[in-house]
């Protein structure tokens, strides 16, 4: 192919590639079974990407998570990923490193979610912390698909 033809086709190829990539993933709100609240990224400088469980806010894009083909959860608003958590029952945060949480189905549309073997748990103060007891409903999450064509 000559260079002019490639330059003319490049925008079309990029558009097709982008459309294909978008069709492979879906956007979700992740609802905690025990507390009925949603994983929210607190993206302010003070919070530093700390994950909390908040009441549903249809206009809060920090409650939306894109699950891509590599099964990575990426916040729709900040484009950041849930990061591994170190020792103790400390909060989970988001960051730039791409991680692939593990989803273990425990019932219809209900999962435990772990990053590097540490389970996401919504504690009594509405913070998403590390937990090890998979039987605790604070570790159980419902994935609610969001239709982005209807989003504000």
Strands (E), 33-126: 38-42, 50-54, 65-67, 73-75, 81-82, 94-95, 102-107, 110-115, 118-122
pLDDT in tens, the chain (152 residues): 443 433 343 343 333 333 323 334 899 999 999 999 999 999 877 778 999 999 999 999 999 999 988 888 999 999 999 999 877 789 999 999 999 899 999 988 899 999 988 999 999 999 999 988 778 889 999 999 998 886 55
Place of tokens 């989803």: 103
- Measured at the CA of 98, the angle between CA 75 and CA 65, to 5 degrees, comes to 20
pLDDT for position 152: 57
What stretch of H or E contains 24?
Answer: helix 3-24
pLDDT for position 68: 85
- Measured at the CA of 89, the angle between CA 121 and CA 102, to 5 degrees, comes to 45
Place of tokens 């590390």: 130
**Within 13 Å and on the Cβ side, how many CA atoms surround 87?**
0
SS3 49: coil
Q: DSSP characters for 118-143?
A: EEEEE-TTSBEEEE--TTSGGGEEEE
């Amino acid at each position: 192919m000559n260079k002019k033809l490639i330059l003319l086709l490049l925008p079309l190829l990029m558009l097709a590639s982008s459309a294909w990539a978008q069709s492979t993933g879906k956007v979700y709100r992740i609802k905690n079974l025990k507390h009925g609240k949603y994983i929210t990224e607190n993206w302010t400088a003070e919070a530093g990407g700390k994950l909390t469980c908040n009441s549903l806010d249809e206009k809060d894009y920090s409650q939306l998570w894109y699950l891509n083909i590599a099964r990575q959860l990426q916040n729709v608003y900040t484009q950041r990923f849930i990061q591994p958590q170190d020792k103790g029952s400390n909060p989970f945060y988001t960051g730039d490193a791409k991680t692939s949480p593990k989803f273990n189905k425990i019932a219809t549309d209900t999962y435990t979610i772990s990053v590097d073997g540490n389970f996401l748990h919504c504690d009594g103060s509405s913070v998403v912390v590390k937990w090890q007891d998979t039987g605790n409903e604070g570790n159980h999450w419902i994935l609610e698909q969001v239709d982005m064509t209807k989003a504000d």
